[in-house]
């Protein structure tokens, strides 16, 4: 038998009662934002319908699922660990945010099949901006997603190593990794000349395949199988790394991504992931 975990920032009694009917008994654990039922047998279709009806995060997990069984967690950055898409916010300083954001949204939904070309198009629109804009975006607009800091802290205290692998830019990933204590980082490098962005990238693009390879190589380097990895992201370019991870989590993600991952967080903060693990509740 499995465990049913239902979460929402303000979990109503009406919702708890509805899931109790599905589970066949009252919750074994209930709090302001969490209810948990052990020894349940519910189909995925039933669960999805109830979660959609009540607008909550609901997951069926193995009763003995343990965070300490994992050794590496890989995170996307934009719209996952942080609340913004950095390229869109940089473009705002060039008066091109709407144009760039439309391309970003299409790429994350999976509507654009050539991710590399979509990124080059967006970066080209940044040409001529002073490099000081990057610091302004970091200072004024970058904010951690709800629960990001507590999730990372708990993972590190449990012994997991962390990988930040992003189609975003090294200016931001390096600072974010330093802030959160993330050991492994891979991202794109903006080309800069005479103190201004050239509209080009240096080096190979970190796309979906590169993200998967980063996860595989990091796991191999630290000596653990992919079954002991967790991948967390929100966009289509995260799917390849999610496909090889032992556990994958879609965070406030596009439908394409939610449908392809083992778990999804749609309403709660990132740290709600911890409540899926028996040793973190």
- pLDDT at site 129: 98
Please pick, among 28, 57, 78, 92, the residue that the annotation labels catalytic.
78
End-to-end CA, the chain: 18
- Cα 119 from chain centroid (whole Å): 19
CA distance 168 to 182: 16
* 130 in Cβ contact with 192 (< 8 Å): no
- Is 88 catalytic? The answer is no
Average pLDDT, 10 consecutive residues per value, the chain (281 residues): 94 97 95 96 91 96 95 98 97 95 88 90 96 98 98 98 98 98 98 98 96 98 97 95 97 89 96 95 83
Burial of 95: CB neighbours in 10 Å, binned 0-12, 13-18, 19+: exposed
- pLDDT at site 60: 95
- pLDDT at site 219: 98
- pLDDT at site 44: 85
Please pick, among 76, 88, 234, 238, the residue that the annotation labels catalytic.
76
DSSP string for residues in 171-200: HHHHHHHHHHT--EEEEEEEEEETTEEEEE
- pLDDT at site 239: 96
- pLDDT at site 24: 95
Alpha-carbon torsion (17, 21, 22, 25), positive or negative: positive
- Is 76 catalytic? The answer is yes
The angle at the Cα of 83, spanning 100 to 126, to the nearest 5 degrees, equals 25
CA distance 58 to 48: 8
- pLDDT at site 53: 96
Phi, psi torsion values for 184, nearest 5 degrees: -120, 135
Neighbours of 272 (CB within 10 A): 23
pLDDT tens across 136-171, in order? Answer: 999 999 999 999 999 999 999 999 999 999 999 999
* 85 in Cβ contact with 98 (< 8 Å): no
CA distance 220 to 184: 13
- pLDDT at site 259: 87
* 148 in Cβ contact with 181 (< 8 Å): no
CATH of domain 1-63: 3.30.70
């Amino acid at each position: 038998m499995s465990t049913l975990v239902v979460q929402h920032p303000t979990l109503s009694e009406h919702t708890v009662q509805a899931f109790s009917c599905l589970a066949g008994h009252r919750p074994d654990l209930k709090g302001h934002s969490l209810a948990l039922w052990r020894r349940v047998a519910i189909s995925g279709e039933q669960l999805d319908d109830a979660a959609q009806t009540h607008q909550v995060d609901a997951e069926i997990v193995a009763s003995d699922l343990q965070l300490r069984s994992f050794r590496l967690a890989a995170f996307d950055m934009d719209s996952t660990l942080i609340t913004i898409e950095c390229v869109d916010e940089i473009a705002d300083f060039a008066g091109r945010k709407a144009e760039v954001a439309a391309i970003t949204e299409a790429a994350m939904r999976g509507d654009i099949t050539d991710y590399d070309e979509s990124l080059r198009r967006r970066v080209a629109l940044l040409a001529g901006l002073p490099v000081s804009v990057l610091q302004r975006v970091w200072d004024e607009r970058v904010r951690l997603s709800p629960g990001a800091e507590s999730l990372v802290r708990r993972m590190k205290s449990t012994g997991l190593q962390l990988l930040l692998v992003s189609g975003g830019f090294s200016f931001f990933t390096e600072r974010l990794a330093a802030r959160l204590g993330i050991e492994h980082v891979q991202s794109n490098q903006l080309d800069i000349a005479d103190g201004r962005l050239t509209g080009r990238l240096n080096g190979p693009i970190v796309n979906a395949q590169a993200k998967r390879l980063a996860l595989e190589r990091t796991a191999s380097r630290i000596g653990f199988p992919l079954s002991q990895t967790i991948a967390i992201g929100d966009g289509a370019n995260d799917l390849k790394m999610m496909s090889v991870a032992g556990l994958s989590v879609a965070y406030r993600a596009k439908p394409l991504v939610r449908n392809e991952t083992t778990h999804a967080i749609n309403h709660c903060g990132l740290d709600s992931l911890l409540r899926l693990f028996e040793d973190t509740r």
